[in-house]
């Protein structure tokens, strides 16, 4: 039903657009018709040797102008009527006048709205027909001196029409490319969010599962605690994933859920302690609200770094330091593991790459690498204000 509704709305918009174009073209035709009537008689005063303006001249002016009413719907039909009217007008020896404006618009329309090959095929006979009066006329033929100005009434509007069409097509391609880039950026951002949420949740669940398997036979009551932690971690990961994916579905009910930030780091470290990882949290400076993007990026740095500690650092202790400075916020995660938390691992390279891209996009800086005394260090510096 929703699809049918959108199709109906699209059909109505297209119909409205066609009627608007038709009315605009009708108004243009009426203006050129009035200009033709008045201007043709004024032109006759400047060409005393031309044929006197009579009813036939008015008829030809009328045909050329009224053909423009359907110029966007049937460009070649409009050009055909305009060409016949203008050519007959000129061969009859009437004075050069506003009928050529109607012909100008007809040629422009063909070049503007039709593919270049069809436009050339349509305008070439029109050029030949209009130039007939140079050699054949019921009055005195214009002669070779009329070739250039006669051809200009075709060449100029044709060139203008092709230029306008090319510019419009280039602008449309740019808009499509920009939309594609925005979609790619959005997909990449969502992929990074999903990687962070799922990667952290699975790492914690894996650690708790190993503990539960180890304790199941000997101390089942402690294994039950680990299984409870698995249930809670998976539920929290699913909730966070649902918030992330709501961006795609634009789910208003889910969008109201809080976005993770530095205020949730304490709960994050508490969950990880239940997996057996020793985590210390230190905060310096006055805690204050941060822009959502900055707050989320800082949280993801902590989450990804601690997830990598779980995966690769073995029995390690980790320290998380959050610093609130006047113009920036800093996040540092160091561990004492025997393996670099940023080294190997099939999914980790993507995680660190995504972390760096997220920080760079906000105008921050990220440093990652092994510590001289062993372990690994991740340090991020983020502006206290989001980049405009």
pLDDT in tens, 307-320: 888 776 565 788 99
Residues 80 and 130 in one domain: yes
**Residue 240: predicted pLDDT:** 64
**Residue 384: predicted pLDDT:** 82
Domain for residue 204, yes or no?
A: yes
Counting residues of the chain whose pLDDT is more than 90, the rounded percentage is 22
**Residues listed for the chain:** 388
Residues 260 and 305 in one domain: yes
Residues 125 and 191 in one domain: no
CA angle 299, 301, 307 (to 5 degrees): 100
**Residue 306: predicted pLDDT:** 86
Residues 124 and 219 in one domain: no
Domain for residue 262, yes or no?
A: yes
Q: Residue 286 and residue 250: Cα distance in Å, rounded?
A: 35
What pLDDT band is residue 2 in, cutting at 50, 70 and 90?
A: very low
Q: Which two tokens stand for residue 275?
A: 């997996």
Residues 199 and 111 in one domain: no
Domain that holds residue 208: 179-383
Domain count, the chain: 2
**How many beta carbons lie within 10 A of that of residue 161, not counting itself?**
23
pLDDT in tens, 339-380: 544 443 334 455 677 778 888 888 899 999 888 878 889 999
Domain for residue 110, yes or no?
A: yes
Average pLDDT over residues 32-44: 84
**Residue 92: predicted pLDDT:** 85
Q: What is the CATH number of the domain that holds 186?
A: 3.30.565.10
**Residue 42: predicted pLDDT:** 81
State the DSSP string of 284-350: ES------HHHHHHHHHHHHHHHHHHHHHS-S-EEEEEEEE-SSEEEEEEEE--SS-TTSS-TTHHH
pLDDT at 282 over 80: yes
Which of helix, strand or coil describes residue 282? Answer: strand
Domain for residue 206, yes or no?
A: yes
Q: Which two tokens stand for residue 194?
A: 């999903």
- Please state, in angstroms and as integers, the Cα–Cα distance from residue 72 to each residue in 21, 22, 154, following that order: 8, 8, 18
Domain for residue 131, yes or no?
A: yes
User: Which of 122, 142, 162 is the last residue in one of the domains?
Assistant: 142
Residues 123 and 185 in one domain: no
Domain for residue 151, yes or no?
A: no
Q: Residue 121 and residue 128: Cα distance in Å, rounded?
A: 12
Query: Measured on CA atoms in the order 104, 108, 114, 117, is the torsion positive or negative?
Result: positive
Residues 105 and 223 in one domain: no
Average pLDDT over residues 39-62: 82
**How many beta carbons lie within 10 A of that of residue 383, not counting itself?**
16
Domain for residue 165, yes or no?
A: no
Residues 104 and 238 in one domain: no
Residues 109 and 6 in one domain: yes
Q: Rounded to 10 degrees, what is the CA torsion of 231, 236, 237, 238?
A: 90
Q: Which two tokens stand for residue 196?
A: 């962070």
Parallel, antiparallel, or unpaired: how do β-strands 278-284 and 376-383 relate? unpaired
Residues 218 and 362 in one domain: yes
């Amino acid at each position: 039903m929703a699809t049918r509704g959108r199709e109906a709305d699209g059909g109505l918009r297209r119909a409205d657009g066609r009627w608007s174009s038709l009315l605009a073209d009708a108004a243009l035709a009426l203006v050129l018709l009035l200009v033709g009537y008045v201007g043709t008689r004024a032109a006759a005063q400047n060409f005393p040797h031309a044929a006197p303006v009579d009813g036939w001249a008015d008829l030809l002016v009328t045909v050329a102008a009224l053909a423009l009413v359907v110029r966007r719907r049937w460009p070649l039909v409009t050009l055909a009527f305009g060409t016949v009217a203008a050519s007959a007008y000129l061969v009859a020896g009437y004075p050069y006048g506003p009928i050529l404006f109607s012909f100008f618009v007809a040629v422009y329309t063909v070049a503007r709205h039709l593919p270049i090959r069809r436009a050339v095929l349509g305008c070439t006979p029109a050029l030949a027909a209009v130039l007939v009066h140079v050699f054949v006329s019921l009055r005195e033929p214009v002669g070779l001196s009329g070739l250039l100005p006669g051809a200009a009434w075709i060449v100029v509007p044709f060139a203008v029409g092709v230029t306008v069409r090319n510019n419009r097509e280039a602008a449309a391609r740019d808009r499509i490319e920009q939309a594609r880039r925005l979609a790619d950026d959005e997909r990449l951002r969502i992929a990074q969010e999903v990687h962070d949420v799922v990667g952290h949740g699975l790492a914690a669940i894996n650690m708790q599962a190993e503990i539960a398997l180890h304790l199941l036979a000997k101390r089942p009551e402690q294994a039950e605690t680990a299984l409870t932690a698995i249930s809670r971690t998976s539920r929290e990961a699913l909730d966070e994933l649902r918030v992330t994916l709501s961006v795609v579905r634009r789910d208003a009910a889910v969008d109201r859920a809080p976005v993770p930030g530095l205020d949730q780091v304490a709960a994050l470290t508490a969950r990880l302690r239940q997996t057996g990882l020793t985590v210390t949290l230190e905060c310096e400076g006055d805690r204050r609200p941060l822009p959502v993007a900055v707050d989320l990026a800082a949280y993801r740095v902590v989450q990804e770094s601690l997830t990598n500690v779980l995966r690769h650092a073995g029995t390690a202790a980790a320290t998380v330091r959050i610093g609130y400075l006047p113009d920036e916020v800093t996040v540092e995660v160091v561990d004492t593991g025997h393996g670099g938390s940023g080294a190997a691992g099939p999914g980790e390279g993507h995680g660190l790459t995504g972390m760096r891209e997220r920080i760079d996009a906000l105008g921050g800086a990220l440093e990652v690498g092994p510590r001289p005394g062993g372990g690994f260090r991740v340090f991020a510096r983020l502006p206290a204000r989001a980049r405009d």
